Amino acid sequence: MYNEVRVFVENKPGKLSRVVELLGNAHIDLLALDVADEGQYGVFKILTAEPDRARQVLADAGMTVAFNRVAVIEIEDKPGGLIGLANALERGGLNVTEAYGCILERGKRALFVIKGENLEAIESAASEAGLKSLESLK
């Protein structure tokens, strides 16, 4: 399991700039950034190798920030690379509530980030399918 950094923002221009500038100025590398738009407000989901520092930097700047536990599964970066994991989740009867992906090395390694009701079961299903769940992205 892994800590995704989440930021609550009022839905108005300038919020994304503020977050990426703060992280960029602190030399924090973003692996992925996903935006959940809830209308009047939104939630940024940030995947980084340094979640603790990212959280601290954003909190110090007065942003509304929290950790969110997710499963980060490494998959192959190729067409059909997600099929093995998807089938494993299906066999386990496991629901995914939120998910997104990102590439680690083009043509080689990618990550699939999953939020679900039972993260442990998701990780063991992945493991049974021969896929690694990452605890660190360093």
Partner 1 sequence: MNWQVDVTGSRFEWMSEDELRSHQLEALKQTLAQAAKSPWYSDLFKRIDFRPEDVKSLEDITKLPFTTKEDLRLSYPDKMLAVPREEVLRMHTSSGTTGKPTAIFHTREDVDCWAELMARCLAMVGATSRDIFQNMSGYGLFTGGLGLHYGAERLGMWVIPAGPGNTTRQITLIRDFHVTVIHATPSYAMHVAERMLQEGDDPRTLGIRIAALGAEPYTEELRQKLESLYGFKAYNSYGLSEMNGPGVAFECQFQNGLHFWEDAFFVELVNPETLEPTKPGEVGELVMTTLRRKAMPLIRYRTRDLTRLIKGECPCGRKHVRLARMVGRSDDMLIIRGVNVFPSQIEEVIMRNAWLGGNYVLYLTKKESLDQLTVRVEMAKGAFDGSIQTLRERRAELQRQLREQIGFTAEVDLLEPGSLPVSEGKAKRVIDERE
Q: Which residues bind partner 1 (CB under 8 A)?
A: 4, 6, 8-10, 36, 38, 40-41, 43, 62-68, 97-98
Q: How far is the CB of 62 from partner 1 (least distance, A)?
A: 6
Closer by beta carbon to partner 1, 75 or else 113? 113
Radius of gyration of the chain (CA): 16
Q: How far is the CB of 92 from partner 1 (least distance, A)?
A: 21
Q: Is the dihedral of CA 77, 45, 4, 86 positive or negative?
A: negative
Q: How far is the CB of 10 from partner 1 (least distance, A)?
A: 6
Closer by beta carbon to partner 1, 10 or else 105? 10
Closer by beta carbon to partner 1, 84 or else 118? 118
